[in-house]
């Protein structure tokens, strides 16, 4: 694998997430059919700061949580310390750490419930938990909050798919322990690793290789370890390939989010085209865009993400600094 190609795909899955999030944010909570999205970054009236809409290129909770996870993984050479990650997410929620405007302005219900119980971790006197996290294991709590922040895990750990998948599962369970959330992170991690290492020259061939019922990231042919029939179904049956746009659900339900992202990736030929398929669909489109961005970015690479989108992102310095440590981990042999 050419190092330049690998670096571009790793960066693509990191920056692609922020791009999808920032492009989708102005249309979050909107109803499809009631607006026409721009193909440029636009002012975000969904949220405000100091009485004004957020400037074009502003990213939301998806990217903030991803940045916290990236900083945490970088500080431990890729060995996830779940307590450290939880602390960073609480610091974002409470104090605006890794926020584009210095405060948390958007947070999912399941995530907030989890972080509430972790708030005491910010107290240096509080004893460190010795258990493994298992927060919100109910199927009803199957939101997309752990899938939307995922890409630093495969980016840092792709050379060891077993460790990457184990870490993807662990980072999910800090806030979302539903089997659907955990398995969505497992499958998306496997796909991103597949795209990082795909030898095919064209994106179309890479998709045919990775988005394939027989694909596995393990060199010995071990199947992707999926425990839920729903995720096994997405991987094996791949009904998203046959769906029409009217059948695509952009709600916050994790299965719908993953399917919508894969649908857009399969039915387009460029990073931009896929994202433009999603932007008119409204609802939780910033998170669907973020999940599309991390998987599509791994497929196409950083160099195929439109420069006008990358250049329009707010706080590029913060993004670069958080991503750089992950890129370096991902390029280590």
Q: For 189, how many CA atoms within 13 A lie in the half-sphere containing its CB?
A: 35
Cα dihedral 63/64/70/72 (nearest 10):
-160
User: Is 81 labelled a binding residue?
Assistant: no
Is 287 annotated among the ligand-binding residues?
A: yes
User: Taking a C-beta distance cutoff of 8 angstroms, is the pair 75, 327 a contact?
Assistant: no
- Contact (CB, 8 A) for 70 and 53: no
286 is in an annotated binding site: yes
Q: Is 214 annotated as a binding residue?
A: no
Q: In this structure, what token pair is assigned to residue 66?
A: 């991803």
- Kindly report the three-state secondary structure assignment for every residue of 86-141: HHHHHHHHHHCCCCCCCCCCCCCHHHHHHHHHHHHHHCCCCCCCCCCCCCCCCHHH
Q: Which two tokens stand for residue 112?
A: 């907030």
Q: Is 183 annotated as a binding residue?
A: no
Beta bridge partners of 49: 52
Integer Cα distance of 128 and 236 in angstroms: 41
Q: What angle do CA 137, 139, 144 make, to 5 degrees?
A: 85
Residue 316, token pair as written in the block = 């590029």
List the one residue out of 147, 256, 239, 228 whose CA is nearest residue 191: 147
- Binding region: 60-62, 284, 286-287
- Binding region for Mg(2+): 60-62, 284, 286-287
């Amino acid at each position: 694998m050419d190092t330049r190609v690998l670096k571009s795909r790793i960066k693509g899955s990191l920056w692609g997430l922020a791009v999808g999030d920032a492009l989708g944010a102005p249309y979050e909570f909107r109803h499809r059919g009631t607006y026409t999205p721009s193909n440029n970054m636009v002012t975000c009236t969904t949220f405000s700061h100091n009485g004004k809409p957020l400037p074009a290129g502003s990213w939301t909770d998806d990217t903030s949580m991803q940045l916290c996870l990236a900083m945490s993984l970088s500080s431990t050479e890729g060995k996830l310390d779940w307590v450290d990650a939880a602390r960073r997410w609480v610091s974002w929620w409470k104090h605006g750490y890794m926020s584009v405007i210095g405060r948390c302005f958007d947070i999912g219900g399941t995530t907030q419930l989890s972080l509430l119980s972790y708030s005491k971790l910010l107290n240096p006197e509080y004893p460190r938990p010795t258990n493994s996290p298992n927060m919100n294991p109910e199927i009803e709590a199957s939101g997309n909050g752990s899938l939307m922040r995922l890409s630093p895990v495969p980016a840092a750990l792709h050379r060891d798919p077993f460790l990457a998948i184990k870490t993807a599962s662990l980072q999910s369970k800090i806030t979302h322990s539903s089997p659907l959330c955990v398995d969505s992170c497992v499958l998306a991690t496997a796909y991103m690793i597949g795209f990082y290492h795909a030898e095919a020259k064209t994106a179309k061939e890479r998709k045919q290789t990775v988005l394939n019922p027989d694909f596995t990231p393990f060199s010995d042919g071990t199947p992707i370890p999926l425990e839920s029939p729903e995720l096994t179904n997405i991987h094996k049956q791949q009904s998203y390939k046959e769906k029409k746009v009217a059948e695509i659900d952009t709600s916050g339900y994790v299965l719908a989010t993953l399917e919508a992202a894969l649908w857009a990736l399969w039915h387009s030929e460029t990073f931009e085209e896929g994202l433009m398929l999603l932007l008119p669909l409204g609802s939780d489109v910033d998170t669907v865009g973020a999940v599309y961005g991390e998987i599509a970015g791994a497929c196409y690479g950083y160099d195929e993400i439109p420069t006008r989108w990358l250049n329009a992102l707010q706080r590029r310095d913060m993004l670069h600094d958080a991503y750089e440590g992950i890129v370096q981990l991902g390029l280590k042999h």
